[in-house]
């Protein structure tokens, strides 16, 4: 049945795209040739009646995706993080997708809890509300733990959601392979790889144990961040299809009138949202990648409370250092250094001209620094930067694309709270602090210390590794094996040397 189902779903998708007017817009954004766009209209028109009508008040792409259902909504949300694939204008349309769907009955949620946790929901919770939020994959209930009296938020997967998503993901793979076969221009966008990325993200979201672990890691990283709160995970009441976290009471961060009425300083909150995001990205290399207004509240004490950990971003330490140096170079307007960092990191091919690249970077930075503070945008800077680096042969780096997309959202939240916020003034001390701690003599000593610790684990194997290397290098005559009495001496000498080096580095660091 997979083949017929996939064909029918593809026909229904194309018909909905045609009926809502999304076909033309999407194909233009993807850079389809005029002949392909014309063929799509000719082929789609006869099936138009089979498509969903959607909400005429929505933009074409958003209208079509919303009409096609939960899997398409989630796919659109994830595509909004990839402007490198769908284009900037389409990414903006997809960014406003909302997956507020009709809730499923509370009794079914309680049945799921009983099956997952091994006890009736009414025994585990003394209070259990009707759904307070319902999305494409799960819905949330407010509850009180019977044993402790603690208020919690209980997230429960929709019934049958795994099977329904699996069917649509199969159809997405079929569509991607068909598009790659019939439209060669699309291969540069690697449609099958995009679907595989979506498959991986959704598979993680369909197992709430993964989201629970992500929330726990994020909470551990941020527990000492003043003014920022992550709900506590309740592990005994969490499983594959149920996630329970401590309840956070607060004012929605998108409700300015309510924030003012509660006496909160929106200027301070706006700066904190931006600074916390940058600190998490640079310091931890692990950041909340969906920090829109719906996922944040402000507590009575002014703390920012963050929710929904389905989409998280991760950047390795080396990339964080490169990213920080790039930002720092732009803050200081040292475009030559920014260019050097790109070449040192291998982002730009070595055969390109560094002075020409530095000049292109100046064309990115100077117009932005010449703007009024209310128009300065780090997200815009990164977007322009990616355009320039692409011209100079830099390959797409997905983790930086996700970072830039999240930066757009975070800046939007910050400006909605304080329209006159100066992004660079907020970012400068955080970037400078990171540079001071992670780039310089202290960081070099720390890196060497880590290297020594790794090498020390190979101490017992050094003699045999040295012997094997000598044998491989020998071309004409075999190398005599090390005498048995020499091996322990070599091992002891190497171990002692590594120990002394490690001790010296530890003293320098202390």
Give, to the nearest 10 degrees, the angle between helix 88-95 and helix 60-68.
Answer: 50
Q: CA angle, corner 49, sides to 48 and 53, nearest 5?
A: 85
Q: What confidence score (pLDDT) does residue 198 get?
A: 78
Residue 392's CB is within 10 A of a number of other CB atoms, namely 18
In 3-state terms the chain splits into helix, strand, coil percentages (rounded to 5) of 65, 10, 25
Rounded to whole angstroms, the Cα distance separating 185 from 4 reads 27
Largest CA distance in the chain: 86
CB neighbour list of residue 327: distance below 8 Å, 6 or more residues apart: 378, 427, 431
Residue 175's CB is within 10 A of a number of other CB atoms, namely 19
Rounded to whole angstroms, the Cα distance separating 396 from 347 reads 9
Sign of the dihedral through C-alpha 299, 303, 306, 307: negative
Residue 480 backbone dihedrals phi, psi, to 5 degrees: -65, 140
Rounded to whole angstroms, the Cα distance separating 292 from 286 reads 17
Radius of gyration of the chain (CA): 27
Rounded to whole angstroms, the Cα distance separating 439 from 322 reads 10
CB 315 within 8 Å of CB 322:
no
Q: Known catalytic residue: 290?
A: yes
Rounded to whole angstroms, the Cα distance separating 364 from 383 reads 10
Q: What residues does 152 pair with on adjacent strands?
A: 143, 246
CB 5 within 8 Å of CB 171:
yes
Rounded to whole angstroms, the Cα distance separating 67 from 13 reads 10
DSSP 207: S
CB 269 within 8 Å of CB 417:
yes
The count of residues in the chain is 510
Domain locations along the chain: 2-99+166-185, 250-439, 442-509
Selection from 425, 213, 417 nearest residue 298 by Cα: 417
DSSP 233: B
By the 10 Å C-beta count (0-12 exposed, 13-18 middle, 19+ buried), 422 is classed as middle
DSSP 457: T
Rounded to whole angstroms, the Cα distance separating 426 from 128 reads 42
Residue 356's CB is within 10 A of a number of other CB atoms, namely 11
228-229/304-306 β-pairing: parallel
Phi-psi region of 457 (alpha: psi -120 to 50; beta: other; left: phi over 0): alpha
Tokens of 95: 């960014």
By the 10 Å C-beta count (0-12 exposed, 13-18 middle, 19+ buried), 160 is classed as exposed
Q: What confidence score (pLDDT) does residue 89 get?
A: 73
Q: What residues does 313 pair with on adjacent strands?
A: 287
Rounded to whole angstroms, the Cα distance separating 428 from 406 reads 18
Tokens of 215: 């929330």
Catalytic hit among 84, 168, 225, 290: 290
What are the mean pLDDT values of the chain's consecutive 10-residue runs (510 residues total)? 68 81 72 68 67 81 84 79 67 69 92 96 96 90 96 95 86 81 67 79 86 95 95 96 95 93 95 94 92 90 92 88 85 89 86 90 80 69 75 71 80 88 85 80 60 63 69 59 51 52 51
Tokens of 31: 């850079």
The continuous run of DSSP H or E covering 36 comes out as helix 34-44
The continuous run of DSSP H or E covering 350 comes out as none
Q: How far is CA 380 from the centre of its chain?
A: 18
251-252/296-298 β-pairing: antiparallel
DSSP 314: E
CB 329 within 8 Å of CB 338:
yes
Phi-psi region of 69 (alpha: psi -120 to 50; beta: other; left: phi over 0): left
pLDDT in tens, 354-386: 999 999 989 888 887 766 666 677 777 777 777
Give the position of tokens 């194997």.
461
CB neighbour list of residue 373: distance below 8 Å, 6 or more residues apart: 420, 421, 422, 425
Selection from 298, 141, 287, 321 nearest residue 217 by Cα: 287
Selection from 275, 260, 269 nearest residue 304 by Cα: 269
């Amino acid at each position: 049945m997979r083949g017929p189902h996939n064909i029918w779903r593809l026909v229904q998708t194309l018909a909905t795209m045609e009926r809502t007017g999304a076909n033309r817009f999407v194909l233009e954004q993807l850079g389809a040739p005029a002949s392909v766009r014309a063929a799509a209209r000719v082929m789609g028109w006869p099936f138009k009646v089979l498509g969903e009508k959607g909400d005429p008040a929505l933009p074409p792409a958003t209208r079509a995706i919303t009409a096609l259902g939960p899997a398409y909504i989630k796919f659109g949300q994830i595509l909004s993080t990839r402007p490198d694939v769908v284009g900037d204008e389409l990414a903006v349309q997809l960014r406003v997708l909302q997956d507020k769907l009709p809730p499923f009955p509370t009794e079914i949620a309680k049945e799921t809890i009983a099956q997952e946790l091994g006890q009736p929901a009414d025994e585990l919770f003394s209070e259990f509300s009707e759904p307070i939020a319902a999305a494409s994959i799960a819905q949330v209930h407010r509850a009180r733990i019977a044993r402790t009296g603690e208020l919690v938020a209980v997230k429960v997967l929709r019934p049958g959601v795994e099977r329904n998503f699996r069917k649509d993901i199969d159809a997405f793979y079929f569509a991607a392979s068909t598009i790659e076969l019939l439209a060669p221009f699309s291969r540069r966008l690697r449609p099958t790889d995009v679907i595989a990325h979506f498959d991986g993200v959704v598979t993680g979201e369909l197992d709430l144990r993964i989201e629970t672990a992500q929330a726990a890691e994020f909470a551990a990283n941020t527990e000492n961040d003043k003014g920022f709160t992550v709900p506590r995970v309740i592990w005994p009441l969490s499983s594959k299809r149920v996630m329970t976290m401590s309840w956070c009471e607060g004012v929605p961060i998108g409700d300015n009138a309510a924030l003012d009425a509660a006496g909160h300083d929106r200027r301070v909150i706006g700066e904190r949202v931006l600074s916390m995001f940058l600190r998490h990205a640079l310091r931890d290399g692990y950041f909340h990648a969906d920090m829109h207004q719906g996922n944040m509240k402000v507590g009575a004490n002014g703390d920012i409370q963050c929710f929904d950990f389905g989409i998280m971003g991760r950047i390795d330490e080396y990339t964080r250092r490169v990213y920080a140096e790039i930002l720092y170079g732009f803050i200081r307007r040292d475009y030559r250094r920014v260019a050097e960092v790109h070449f040192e990191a291998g982002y730009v091919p070595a055969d390109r001209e560094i002075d020409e690249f530095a000049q292109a970077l100046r064309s990115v930075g100077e117009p932005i620094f010449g703007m009024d503070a209310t128009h300065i945008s780090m997200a815009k800077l990164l977007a322009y930067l990616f355009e320039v680096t692409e011209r100079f042969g830099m390959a797409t780096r997905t983790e930086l694309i996700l970072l830039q997309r999240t930066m757009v959202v975070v800046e939007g939240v910050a400006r909605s709270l304080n329209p006159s916020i100066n992004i660079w003034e907020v970012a400068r001390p955080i970037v400078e602090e990171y540079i001071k701690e992670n780039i310089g003599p202290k960081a070099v000593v720390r890196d060497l210390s880590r290297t020594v610790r790794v090498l020390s684990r190979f101490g017992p194997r050094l003699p045999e590794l040295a012997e094997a290397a000598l044998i491989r290098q020998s071309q004409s005559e075999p190398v005599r094996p090390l005498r048995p009495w020499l091996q322990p001496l070599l091992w002891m000498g190497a171990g002692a040397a590594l120990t002394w080096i490690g001790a010296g580095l530890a003293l320098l660091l202390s």
